[in-house]
Amino acid sequence: MSSPIWTPDVLRSEARPFAGLAWRLVEAQHRVSTLKLVDSLREHDVLEAILDETKPPVPEECRHLHYLLATPFRYRPYPRGSRFRRAGITPGVWYGAERAETAAAEMVFYRFLFYAESPDTPFPDGAAEYTAFSVELASPLALDLTQAALAHEAKQWTHPTDYGPCQDLADAARGIGAEILRYQSVRDPEQRANVAVLTCRAFRSPGPIDLQTWHIRIGPTGAQALREHPRLGIEFDPAAFAGDPRLEGMNWNRPRGR
């Protein structure tokens, strides 16, 4: 359970304004995955409109946003809990990172987790392409879990699998009107910061403002993440996320796909 000191008054005393960029990686095919189903761009537009009508409505406060920002607030129930969001019919949370490199590390971890939970799935033969995008955030009320009194509970905020204290804190943060949580990434080897956006009001830009192309290759030696421009390469060996018990027993010697 969370520490009992996090009363509304204490959290209000810890709250500060926040402004800055946040990055997130998505699979590059999110743009063209439905093109193969149609013969023209006009048909594609019609198909996208039909598909959109079958989805839950976008909340009123999120309707001005690009779908890459609004999506986490649109879909309920949430199938599995995440660090600051409980499973079930719960308020949305958009996750980002202050650096694109941190967002890449987060993506690599979740690719490792996918293969750890799918021991018979071959590793891909080549690298997958991802788009990193940044958005501008601003809020008069944010909580920084790496500073002041909140930093004293760092072990709770960075536990690899027990999200209960973080979810409790998110509930309390919403209770005082906080819109952003800044916290240390558990996956980034440089321990840089992530952000959890609790409301669409915290997006200053309605859509992505910068884009980068990344390629990530997963295999028996771990992962290689390559950014095209500005050029950068990051390697993650099989022990990169050894602190997470979900990766124990990972089958690294599986064959590659064809």
What is the per-residue pLDDT for 1? 43
| Cβ atoms of 84 and 142 closer than 8 Å | no
In the DSSP assignment, the letter for residue 206 is: S
CA distances to 43, 44, 46, 248 from 50, rounded to whole Å, are 11, 10, 6, 43
Short-list 30, 33, 100, 108, CA closest to 68: 30
Question: What is the largest distance, in Å, between two alpha-carbon atoms of the chain?
Answer: 60
Distance (Å, whole) CA 216 – CA 225: 4
| Cβ atoms of 85 and 76 closer than 8 Å | no
What is the per-residue pLDDT for 177? 98
Give pLDDT tens digits along the chain (258 positions). 445 478 999 999 999 999 999 999 999 865 556 666 667 777 666 666 665 666 778 999 999 999 999 999 998 889 999 999 999 999 999 999 999 999 999 999 999 999 999 999 999 999 999 999 999 999 999 999 999 999 999 999 999 999 999 999 999 999 999 999 999 999 999 999 999 999 999 999 999 999 999 999 999 999 999 999 999 999 999 999 999 999 999 999 998 876
Domain boundaries, the chain: 8-247
Short-list 116, 98, 110, CA closest to 191: 98
What is the per-residue pLDDT for 55? 74
What is the per-residue pLDDT for 53? 66
Distance (Å, whole) CA 85 – CA 95: 10
Structure tokens given for 94: 């958009």
Structure tokens given for 251: 């089958």
What is the per-residue pLDDT for 29? 61
In the DSSP assignment, the letter for residue 6 is: -
- DSSP output for 161-177: S--HHHHHHHHHHHHTT
Which residues are CB-contacts of 97 (< 8 A; sequence separation ≥ 6)?
22, 23, 24, 103, 106, 185, 188, 192, 193, 194, 195
pTM here?
A: 0.90
